[in-house]
Each structure stands twice: as structure tokens, then as C-alpha cells.
Amino acid sequence: MHLHQNMIAYAKCLPWENKITSTHIDEGAFKASIIDWKNRCLSAAKNARLLYQRALHLTPWQSNIYADIAITIDLIYSLLEREKTDHDTRQLSERMSLGSLMFEGVNCDFWVILACVTNDYALKQHALIRGLQLDNSLAVSWAYLGKLYMKLGENHLATQSFDRARSLDPSLALPWAGMSVASHDRNYSLSEAYESCLRAVQIMPLAEFQIGLGMLAAVSGHLLSPQVFSAIRHSIQRSPYYPESHNVHGLICEARSDYQSAISAYRLARSALRIASLSKDSAKHCLTDVSVNLARALCQAGLMLDAEQECEALNKDGMLNCKGLQIYAVALWKLGKNDQSLHVARNLAKNVSTMEESSCTAAIGLICQLIYRISGLESAISTILKLPREYLNGAKMSLILSTINALDPNNRLQLLLPTSLSSFGAYDLIVEMHTITATNKMIQNGSEQSLDIHSGIKYLKKVLRLYPDSKLLRNHLGSLILYSGDWLASHIAPRCTVLPTGYPVRTGLKSPFEIHGGAGVSCYASCVTRPKFSFPACRCQPMHGSTVTDHLQKWLHQEPWNHEARYLLILNLLQRAREEKFPSHLCIGLKRLISIALSMINETKYQRFLLLLSASEISLQCQDYSDCTNYAATALELLPSNDNSFFAHLQLCRAYAAQEDLENLRNEYMNCLKFNTVNQIGWLSLKYLESRYKLQNGCNTVDVNYKMCFTSELSSSNMWVAVFGLVSALCFIWDNDFISAEQALAHACSISKEESCLFFALGAVCMELARQQMGLQFLSRAMQHLIKAQETSPFPLPIVSALLAQVEGSLGSKAKWERNLRLEWFSWPAEMRPAELYFQMHILARQSTAACDPQTNIESYQSPLRWVLRALHLNPSCLRYWKVLQKLTD
Amino acid sequence: MKLAGLKTAENAHDESIWASAWVPATDNRPALLLTGSLDETVRLWRTDELSPAAPPLGGHALGVVSVAAHPSGVVAASASLDSFIRVFDVESNSSIATLEAPPSEVWNMQFEPKGTILAVAGGSSASVKLWDTSSWQLVDSLAIPRQESSRPTDRTGGGKFVLSVAWSPDGKRLACGSMDGTISVFDVHRAKFLHHLDGHFMPVRSLVYSPLDSRVLFSACDDTHVHMYDAEGKNLVASLSGHASWVLSVDASPDGAAIATGSSDRTVRLWDLTMRASVQTMTSHSDQVWSVAFRPPGGTGVRAGRLASVSDDKSISLYDYS
């Protein structure tokens, strides 16, 4: 008997497999595959019936076999889709179930089965009530009674029956499903309906329930729920001939931004509709809906031509409704057919008065946006001013209005905007309005060419104080800070944006990852956490935990297709490689990443340009000069006349300089001068090369051009002046002109009072001047500057204390000399201490008295001999150490 | 009980003033007023003339959202939108420590009444961070448990953003208020969450315990009400209404008889707790009032009560409370 039941279950559960994978769905093939599937189900059911018949033949007194046969026959008929009027055949199942009742008239289940297999409503009701008379707590009977009443339109009775069934047995699926359908009549909210339908699906995964769940999800905004997704996939397998299941599947795919799957789902839905035996009117209505859905999915997938064709076909049949018109207008606009698009928009506008409120705002919003995109700001504003006021209410419309108003320098739409933002209620909308206001402020206070980013930042900071949890605000603020050109922007911007932990949602001007990635490459001292490689003098506080590259790697892992992620990761890794002095493992990894990125097509030209330059830089560092020049030349071809090409020429300069090819170097140097740039760092590099290779031709073009680059941003301008002083000083040192170097550095220090590196350099130059017997005043000046460097540096800078010790020593202060030498010992990380430091410690150890405490005086930790030995171990090539060793051992 | 305007310092900062706190008096100086502003500085003011007591203190980016003073009056802390907390010596303005938190995870702060712990409202981390004030290390993090009603399908990830924090005067309890209106009460010694206080459904921007009774908690909320809770018994004792817009700040007077509130309706109100009603409204500010603070008692020969309020209009107002 179990085997028989399994056969029925097989017939009911055999899944339909979608073997059609191509985008162009052949209706014939679809139909054939469904018929094939149905036939397999049917043969299983028929086999089951035969088996039951045999069983009945053997044991004709078993009443339940009659009932089982009745159920099987009912299933076969439903698979065969016999018309309900076909009396003779339908009566067979009825007769079989009556047979079971003949034997066991008191079995209430048999009455329910009779009710299920019969077509006669009166008999159905009678059978169900009879079942209830036999067992008044028969929940199934109440449930079917509810279904029957619903079919008959007795909604009140239906709800009552479902209520009873549910309270008798809450584990029954049908009442839950029934309640969700009954939601229209009662004050049963959509989300409650969704919840109860979800319960029904969880109890009993029936295709009808699942489709109902999908439809409720579509209207109640639960399309992204994984439960709905799996339910609909299941329903497609169980009843592929329902067009609804394909349609809802399409909606779900669309909500998950999987437009290709959505398109094929809608096409399947259309095929299913054509196969299904529906009345002409309802088929036409459904076809319109599905076609509009299809057009929308095509539009979102970027297949504008297909979308346009779809809309045109609808238009020919006169079935283009207002949603279709909107899609048509967008598709036409995207295809560049502006006039036609406006024509469609006008048609849409004519219908506005007949629409319901929600679709009306959507239509008007679209019309405004189209007019703005096609005909510009002026006509958009005049159109809006002509529109009746009642269309301009509502949050969405206010957003559009305020955006257009923000772009208009005269703020002509100001009067139409709502006076207080708090009337919106929802925080998201208020915050969005605030970001638009911030943009408006930037436009209003800015000039013709540039926005006043600072007023935007100021405004957003104030809003962030009010709504501190808004991610949109934080992203917006972070992006603006990055744009502002503030010297510390790269440290502040990541501090106000929060990296998302889950699936990244795009809000604001830039995503938080982009802000962090952009900030990561814009500061020299990005990996302060590893003083092993560099000694950052940057005053920014270090970030704890994982670094930017880790976050970007995570992002790329999450979205491997995202070229933006790969691009930013490459730039950040290059930055790291630079700080770690281009270790070979990083270079190899970077080369591979760059070649992947270059093989993709979706990078912008500028991104490709930078990627090529990065590749060139890595080749340069690996001393692969031919590759280096090749990459730079390719980059140059990419953007031949753009002002970025300065950097390609600069890269070529560096490549030739490394090969000491002076002739080509001079050519490229002249090219750099010709192409010009507004980037300070470019001129600094060029100045350095110029002085190193004596490229200067009398006039100081580089200096003049450098000064042209200054922006209005005061803090960063000052820093650039100071950095320029440092580079000039370095150039002077090349020429052994220490007096000029001292002047340049003194100027730089007077401008930037917080930069320890500048004071360090100035102190060192002063010491050199003192060594050259230029006067004792330089010694005291050196001391002054070195102390300042010690004070301002956030980390103990190496060498500073050693120099200071030397100065103090020359001035005769032994105690200070000792103290500074000890400081020097602690300002180096253990694995990086140079041999000379050990040697210096030996001198210190010889000076100090034997009774010193090793806790405070590091030098007494070991004997002078040991110190020298360690110095020698590190640098055996230094004769000085050997001599001292000899003396000590003698 | 009444307030009398003493002095208003216009343009005390270059930008909106967002935070204020009193630095208690020490043996050699009276109490000072500490203010933090959007202009990224923290300033100290002498009473009653509101003259600068020190040059502006920098070291912040993106605007100072909160300031707090150690009960000893020696140390103070200021936090800014970039989620760094700077702890500094009040006399010398030298930095003692810089406490770092991930972005958006620092909001209001308050020192424990005995001064051993600094509690920081942890913003989007949905917790309160406790920093030890001797080593300046993070010692604990009191997380708000998720409420059962929140559905798993909610994609906001808990969605709690902790704005405000308050210590009970005995130092045993800690309350924090969130963006969604819930107030959570913790047992600090056992580091345990006790319960929520219900009644608000909008951001709770400021909390303060009554200085006399460790059970009584006052909350200022965007719903324009100030609630008075029995924080142990989870009861709402009274709901004080009168402000026309968001209530941004609340502070209790040292005698425990009154509270003062600042609101975005640009007023400062004084509430009599025995009458449970607003008894006075000050309208000296021309923009929203971000913070109000009563001067703690103590100091040489100072008996008179003082209330300070700071506002978006860049001014500080000082009132006599009697």
C-alpha cells in the first residue's frame, strides 16, 4: 500500500526542469517540454491507479482503497484538464468515493474526499457538513467549507469557516492561505496577509500557495526575501504551466537586479499564457502586464532596442498602458530619439488625470526628468510651473522639485517646495532632501566653474549632528571632503564614513569603499601601523585594525566583477609596495592584477591610463626598462593630448634617467614642459630630475609653473609651499650650496610649523654649515631646530636624536649628549638598528660609570667590547670598527 | 526657583556650539565652562564674565560633538565627528590620550561620578564603551541586546545608534538612549543589561539621572517631551511637555529640585519637579540650543547656582539659578 501511495506522490511531485537556457524562448519547445512533463506525471498516476485497482481486486472489502482510487482518478483528470462539464468521466471518481462511503458511512474523512472529488457545489457542501456532523472538530472540513464559500462569493461565511478551521488545527495550511486571500474584505493588512500566506507555504508547499505568496510579496515589498525566492522556484517546478509563477519569478529576479533571468522568466510567462486556456479578455489583460514587465526588464538590462520593439508591439495592439508609456519614453530617450520620447511623454501627460495617485506622481516625475534631460533646465522649470499644484505634492515629487531647484541659480521653484522638512516623517527622505540642499548651497556659493565645496561640507556637518546614523549623509560628507583638496582630507574622510558589513548598498556620491580606497592612495603615510618600513612624520592618527587594502580585498572578493574595486585595490597595493620598497612578491601580484584589469573592457580611459603607468612603475622598480617605457608609451597613446599625458612623459623621464640615457631624457623633459599639469607633485618630481641631471636651460619654468598650481585651499597651499622648499633645498644640496638650502628650509619651516621632517632637514643642514666652519651660530640653530623636530614628531624619528647628541656634545654638554644617544637607541625598531648605532652605544658604554643601572642606561646592558662586536657583526666592512676592536682587545 | 540671565557671550566660537560641560573647581581655581563647537575647537570660559580662560584647544576634525569633565576637575575629554576622543589636562592643555573608535562609533560621553571610568555612547556599534581613566584602555563594552520584535528580514542590522549616556550618582547604573527611542539600563559592576525603558519612539539625545535619587532618570527626546522614569522599576513617572520642537539636552540641578532643557525651538526651559511643569522659558538664543549644563557645587566660597546654555547661534548664555 505504501508503494501505491508513493506512486501518487511521485505523480504529484515530479519536478519540471527548465531545459531551455537560451534567451530566445521557443514557444513550441516550451509547450513540448510541458506536455512531456505532464505525460510523465500522468503515466505515474495511471500506474498508481492500476495498482490500486489490483489491490481492490484482491481485497474488495477494504473501503479506503475505494477512496484512494477516487483520489487518483481525480488527479488524473486534473492532469488531463478535462472540462468540468464532462459529466460521465467526472462521475467515476465520485462513484468510487461513494463506494468507500457505502462500506464505512461513519468515516468523516471519506465525506471530505467526496466533497473534494465532486463538482456539484450542493453535494460538496452537503458532504462537508455531513463530515462535520460526524466529527464537529474536523478542521479539514471547515477549511474546505471555507474554500467552497469563497468560491461561491460568501466571503463572510468563508472567513468564519477558515477561522474555525484555524483555531481547531493551526497546523493546517489551507485556512492560513484562505485568510490571506480574504484580506481584501477585512481590515487585514497586507503584511499580515503575507505572513499568513508564508505560514501556509511553510506548512504545505503547494504551488498555488507559493504563487499567492509571490504575488503578496510583490505588493507588500518582500520580493527580496529568500523564502519567497525558494517558494517561487519550487512552484515553477511543480506547475510550470501557470504563467503567474513565471511572472512572479521575473519580478523577484528583477528585484535582485538579475535582469537577464527576469527577461527569460517573463518570456516563459508569455509562452505559458499563450498555451493556457484562458478567456480572450483576461488573456489579453495578462499578456499586457507580462509584456510591460518584460519591456521594463529589458530596459533595466540596457537592451533598449528590444525594449523599444516590445513597446511598439504593444502600441500596435493598443495595449500600451501608462506604465508601458513610461518605459517606452525612457527607452526612446536612451536610444537618442529625443523627439519621439517627448512625444510619448506628452501622450503620458494627457492620461495623467485618469490615473490613480501613486502612478500619477511616478508619471509626472518621469516627465519632469525627461524634459530636464532632453530640453534642459529652463524648459523643465517652465513645465513644472505650468503643472497643477495638486500633482506636486508627495515626497518623491518634492525630491525631484528640490533637485531641479538646486540646479537653478535663481531658485524659481522655491515657493513650490514644502516649507518644513519634518512634514515628511521618514528620516531617509529628510536626509536626502538635506543632501540636495547641501548641493544647492555649493552651487549658490560657488562660481561659474567650480562649486563651493566648503559650504556644502559645513552644511552636511550640521545635518550629521542631527542625524548621526545616516549612512547617506556620511558617504556624501566623506566624498565632499575628499573633493575639497584639504591637506588632511585623506585622513578625515575615512573617519566619517562607515564601511558596510553586509551587502554594500550604493548611496551618496561615492561608496564608503571608494572613499576609503581613494583616501588610502592620497596620503604618503597610509601604513603608519608598520614603522618597519617607513617613519611617517604625518600628524594624522594611525588607524587600528585592518588596513585599507584588506577592506578593498574583501570588497573585491564580494564582487569579483567590480572593476572599481580591482582598480582601487591595485592603486592601494602599489602604494603599499612603494612603502615597503617594492618587495618582489607584491610586484608579481600587482603585475598579475594589472594584467587582469587591463584585459577587462569596462575601465574608463583614465583608469586604464593610470593602470598602465602603475605597470610601468613596477617594471621600473624591477629594473625592466624596456617594459617600463613600453607601458608608458601605451599610456601616452591612450590619452595623447590630455593634460594627464604630463605624467606619462614624466614616467618616461624617470625611465631614461634610470638608464642614464641623457638625450631621450632631455626630449621627454621638454615634452613635460610642453604639456603642463596642474598637479604640484608632478612639478616637484620634474624639478628633482631637472636638478639631478642638469636639464635646466636658464629659465626656471618649473618653479613658475609650480606656483600656478596653487588652489584657494589655504592649508594645502601652505603645505605645498613648504614641500617645495624642501625639494629646492635638496636640489641646492646636490649643488653643494648649503647656504641656499638653509634659507629654503628656513622659509619652509616658517610656513609649516608642525612638520617635524622639515625641522629635521633644517637642523641637519645647519650642522653641515657648522662643520664647514661657517660660524658657531649654526650650531645653536641646529640644536634649536632638532629639538623642535623631536617635539613635533608624533613618533620618535630616528637619526634626529643622534644628530642632537652630536650637537650637544660639540657644545660640551655631556649629560645631554648621553640622554640623546639613549633616545636614539629607542627610536629605532629592533630589527632596523644600524651598525653605527651599536658603535655609538659602545662609546656611551665606555663613558658611563660602572655603577649604572641597566634599566635606565641601556648602554651598560653590555660591555663596550660586546657593542663593538655587534656593530662589526652588522657591518664587517667598516675599518673604523676593526681598529677600535683592536684597541679594546689589546 | 527661577533663572535670571547673567551674561550672553555672542560669537564665543566661530561656528555653531554643540557641546558644553562644567569643569569642577579645584583647590586653586573656580569651576570653568567647557564648550565644543563645529569650528573644531574646544574652549574654556571663566565665570561669571565668560572670558576665555585658555586659548582655543584644537586637535579635532569635523566638529566637536561632546565634551565631558572629570569630577576632579583636572582632566577633560572632547569627542568629534571623526570618532576620536581627545583627553587633555585642563591646566596645561597637553594631550593625555587619544582614544580611537571606528567611524560613527563615538557620541556623547560622561565620566563616572568617582572618575574611574569614562562611558562613551557607542553610536552605530549599539553599545556603550567603557574606558579606564588611569590606563586609558577600553575595559568593557556594554552591548544593547537586540529586541525580539525586530524581524530577521530587517536589513538595517539592528539599526540601533546610541546617542546619549548617563551615570547614576552612585555609579552602579548606566543608562543609554538610542536613535530609535529606546533607553537601556545596565548594571555596570556585573556588566549586565537590565532592561529597556519604553515610551519614546524618536531619538533620545540626552539623559541625566537625578543627583539625589539613583532611581530617577530624565530623558530628552525628539518627540518634544521630557520623560521622568523610575529606572529601576521600569515605570514612566511623568511626561513633561511644553517644547515646540526636539528636546536636545537635559540637565538636573545640583539640589535635585529642578531640571533644565534646551530645545531646537530655540528656548531653554526650567522645570519644577514638584509641580512637574515648566516654570520658566528663556528665549535668549536665536537658534537651536544644543546643550544646557548646571554648574556642580563646590569651589571656594561659591554658593550661587549657575546654568549655561550653548546654541547654534554661536553664543553662550549664563543664568543665575536660585
Is-contact B77 B65, C-beta < 8 A?
A: no
* Closest CB to A494 among B103, B107, B155: B103
- Contact flag A496-B98 (C-beta cutoff 8 Å): no
Place of cell 511521485: A10
Cell numbers given for A645: 599625458
Place of cell 579606564: B132
Distance from the Cα of B275 to chain A's closest Cα (Å) equals 31
Distance from the Cα of A699 to chain B's closest Cα (Å) equals 42
From residue A186, how far is each of A155, A159, A182, A189 by CA, in Å? 10, 9, 7, 8
Is A808 found in the same domain as A851? no
* Closest CB to B82 among A458, A468, A492: A492
Is-contact A433 A451, C-beta < 8 A?
A: no
Distance from the Cα of B247 to chain A's closest Cα (Å) equals 12
Q: Is residue A129 part of a domain?
A: yes
* Closest CB to A492 among B61, B124, B155: B61
Cell numbers given for A450: 567650480
How many domains in chain A? 3
> Which residues from chain B sit within 8 angstroms of residue A491, using beta carbons?
61
Is A4 found in the same domain as A123? yes
Look at residues B105, B213, B112, B118 and name the one whose alpha carbon lies nearest to residue B162.
Answer: B105
Distance from the Cα of A162 to chain B's closest Cα (Å) equals 27
Closest-CA residue of A relative to B156 is A502
Distance from the Cα of A795 to chain B's closest Cα (Å) equals 14
Closest-CA residue of B relative to A498 is B103
Please name the CATH architecture into which domain B3-145+160-321 falls.
7 Propeller (2.130)
Helices marked H in A169-279: 173-181, 190-203, 207-220, 226-238, 243-255, 259-275
> Which residues from chain B sit within 8 angstroms of residue A715, using beta carbons?
none
What was the pLDDT predicted at B279? 92
What was the pLDDT predicted at A535? 66
Distance from the Cα of B131 to chain A's closest Cα (Å) equals 17
Is A877 found in the same domain as A759? no
Q: Is residue A272 part of a domain?
A: no
Distance from the Cα of A496 to chain B's closest Cα (Å) equals 5
Distance from the Cα of B16 to chain A's closest Cα (Å) equals 8
Is A855 found in the same domain as A816? no
Is A122 found in the same domain as A1? yes
- Contact flag B62-A488 (C-beta cutoff 8 Å): no
- Contact flag A465-B157 (C-beta cutoff 8 Å): no
| Positions of chain A with pLDDT under 50 | 22, 527-528, 544-545
Residues 6+ away with beta carbon under 8 Å from A715: A486, A487, A488
Is A787 found in the same domain as A876? no
Is-contact B229 B240, C-beta < 8 A?
A: no
- Name which of B39, B104, B138 to mutate to probe chain A: the one with the most chain A Cβ atoms within 10 A of its Cβ: B104
Q: How many CA atoms lie within 13 A of A868 on its CB side?
A: 18
Q: Is residue A629 part of a domain?
A: no
Q: How many CB atoms lie within 10 A of CB B301?
A: 5
Closest-CA residue of A relative to B123 is A469
- Contact flag A461-B81 (C-beta cutoff 8 Å): yes
Q: Is B282 helix (H, G, I), strand (E, B) or coil?
A: strand
Q: How far apart are CA A263 and CA A254, in angstroms?
A: 9
The counts of H helices and E strands in chain B are: 0, 28
> Which residues from chain A sit within 8 angstroms of residue B85, using beta carbons?
none
- Contact flag B84-A541 (C-beta cutoff 8 Å): yes
Handedness of CA B134, B138, B139, B143 (dihedral sign): positive
Q: How far apart are CA A211 and CA A832, in angstroms?
A: 69
Q: How many CB atoms lie within 10 A of CB A317?
A: 11
CB pairs under 8 A between A and B: 68
- Contact flag B62-A498 (C-beta cutoff 8 Å): no
With residue A437 as reference, give the H or E element that holds it: helix A427-445
Q: Is A371 helix (H, G, I), strand (E, B) or coil?
A: helix
Domain boundary among A804, A824, A844: A824
Is A867 found in the same domain as A772? no
Helices marked H in A258-394: 259-275, 280-300, 304-316, 322-334, 338-351, 357-375, 377-386
> Which residues from chain B sit within 8 angstroms of residue A494, using beta carbons?
103
Closest-CA residue of A relative to B83 is A495
Can you give the residue range of the structural domain that contains A788?
711-824
Distance from the Cα of B121 to chain A's closest Cα (Å) equals 12
> Which residues from chain A sit within 8 angstroms of residue B102, using beta carbons?
498, 545
Domain boundary among A136, A159, A180: A136
Q: Is B66 helix (H, G, I), strand (E, B) or coil?
A: strand
Closest-CA residue of B relative to A221 is B153
Is A856 found in the same domain as A762? no
> Which residues from chain B sit within 8 angstroms of residue A460, using beta carbons?
none
Q: By a Cβ cutoff of 8 Å, what residues of chain A touch chain B?
A: 222, 225, 458, 461-462, 464-465, 468-469, 474, 488, 491-492, 494-499, 501-502, 541, 543-545
Is A132 found in the same domain as A3? yes
Structural domain spans, chain B: 3-145+160-321
What was the pLDDT predicted at B158? 52
pLDDT digits (tens, 9 = 90+) for A346-394: 877 777 777 777 777 777 888 888 888 887 778 888 877 777 777 777 7
Q: Is residue A72 part of a domain?
A: yes
What was the pLDDT predicted at A506? 58
From residue A365, how far is each of A327, A359, A387, A397, A499 by CA, in Å? 13, 10, 11, 6, 32
Distance from the Cα of B184 to chain A's closest Cα (Å) equals 18
Is-contact B320 B4, C-beta < 8 A?
A: yes
> Which residues from chain A sit within 8 angstroms of residue B100, using beta carbons?
541, 543-544
> Which residues from chain B sit within 8 angstroms of residue A495, using beta carbons?
61-62, 81-84, 103
DSSP-assigned letters across all residues of A492-538 = HHHHH-PPPSSS----SSS-HHHHHHHHHHH-TTTTTT-TTT-----
Domain boundary among A114, A136, A158: A136
Task: Specify the CATH number for the domain of residue A98.
Answer: 1.25.40.10
Cell numbers given for A190: 497586507
- Contact flag A495-B83 (C-beta cutoff 8 Å): yes
| Positions of chain B with pLDDT under 70 | 147-159, 299-302
* Closest CB to B62 among A469, A496, A544: A496
- Contact flag A495-B84 (C-beta cutoff 8 Å): yes
Closest-CA residue of A relative to B180 is A469
> Could you report the predicted ipTM of this complex, rounded to two decimals?
0.87
Q: Is residue A261 part of a domain?
A: no
> Is the N-terminal amide bond of B48 cis, ω within 30° of 0?
yes
Please write down the HEC assignment for all residues of B160-206. CCEEEEEECCCCCEEEEEECCCCEEEEECCCCEEEEEECCCCCCEEE
Q: How far apart are CA B276 and CA B273, in angstroms?
A: 5
* Closest CB to B179 among A469, A491, A496: A469
What was the pLDDT predicted at A74? 80
- Contact flag A495-B312 (C-beta cutoff 8 Å): no
Is A121 found in the same domain as A40? yes
Is A861 found in the same domain as A770? no
Closest-CA residue of B relative to A225 is B153
Closest-CA residue of B relative to A222 is B153
Distance from the Cα of B257 to chain A's closest Cα (Å) equals 30
- Contact flag B103-A497 (C-beta cutoff 8 Å): yes
- Contact flag A496-B84 (C-beta cutoff 8 Å): no
- Name which of A457, A458, A469 to mutate to probe chain B: the one with the most chain B Cβ atoms within 10 A of its Cβ: A469
Distance from the Cα of B288 to chain A's closest Cα (Å) equals 11
- Contact flag A498-B81 (C-beta cutoff 8 Å): no
Is-contact B301 B254, C-beta < 8 A?
A: no
- Contact flag B82-A225 (C-beta cutoff 8 Å): no
